[in-house]
Amino acid sequence: MWRAPVRDLRDKLVFLTGAASGIGRATAVRAAREGAVLHLTDVNADGLVAVVEEITAAGGEVAYAAPVDISDHEAVRAMAADLTAAHGSMDVVMNIAGIASWGTIQALPHSTWQRVVDVNLMGPIAVLEYLVPPMIEARRGGQVVNVSSAAGIIGMPWHAAYSASKFGLRGVSEVLRFDLARYKIGVSLVVPGGVDTGLTETVQIAGVSNTSPTFRKLQARFKKRAVTPEQAAAAILRGVRKNRYWVYTSPDIYVAHLAQRYFPPGYVVAMKIMNTVANKALPEVGRAVREDT
């Protein structure tokens, strides 16, 4: 089954995480404009209220909204049970929520590794565990969307913990892509590159000084090439309508992925250059081993 199960979103029941900000918020707003019936969650309760108000004020429909930390397995289970009992099975399930914590292997504490994996990988897994089986039982088909990252494809500097979670979500998606096909449920794996969500102004990178001139230069370069959350949302919903597995939000990541697969020597050279440039931002203190706290 490669034909798109969800060719448009009008009157479709759409669930998505991370709805209060960034790509999640932009996707929720755009899906509402396309006629979706939204079911939203985010750990940020105030932000969630704000996006619901924005959507309903514009004439969109939000049938369900509740704050949930997706890393809390029992909370996700309870939310999914309430959601399914009250609204039935979803047509589209989108795992968009995530956190970004970067740093050198010397500087990243174990607690950061654990938190990143809990939110970015185990959270989406819990959502899939409890919302996909009702989709199968309903026999209406549907679409699952998992937002990975360019860091789920290529070896970006300082991204070891983040990549562990995003490569993991990519692996889950690769299996479900074929496992769910017989139920007419498509799977889309979104691999955003730079998306200017405002995080660039406040991001903290363990072992890296975000006040160094080199870091500021890298930050400016990122923002120059980054797409907006609205552009990323448009790419995601286009991927749903066309049942695309690989969904790129910017052409640079598509090119990087092609190079990795079809010209490995060029990819290796590019990654070495990227690391050399990035590591110029490392202060000497960042090279010291950080005691876990």
Tell me the catalytic residues: 162
Nearest C-alpha neighbor of 229 from the set 90, 96, 71: 96
DSSP-based three-state secondary structure for 111 = helix
Nearest C-alpha neighbor of 112 from the set 103, 123, 125, 124: 103
What DSSP assignment string belongs to 219-266?
HHHHHHHPBPHHHHHHHHHHHHHTT-SEEESSHHHHHHHHHHHH-HHH
H or E element at residue 269: helix 264-279
Going by their DSSP bridges, the two strands 205-206 and 102-103 should be labelled as parallel
DSSP-based three-state secondary structure for 284 = helix
Q: How far apart are CA 243 and CA 288, in angstroms?
A: 47
DSSP-based three-state secondary structure for 4 = coil
Q: How far apart are CA 110 and CA 114, in angstroms?
A: 6
Q: Torsion angle, CA of 22/198/168/73, rounded to 10 degrees?
A: -60
Tell me the two tokens of residue 197.
């969500």
| Under 8 Å between Cβ of 14 and 91 | yes
Q: Which amino acid is at 26?
A: A
DSSP secondary-structure letter at 90? -
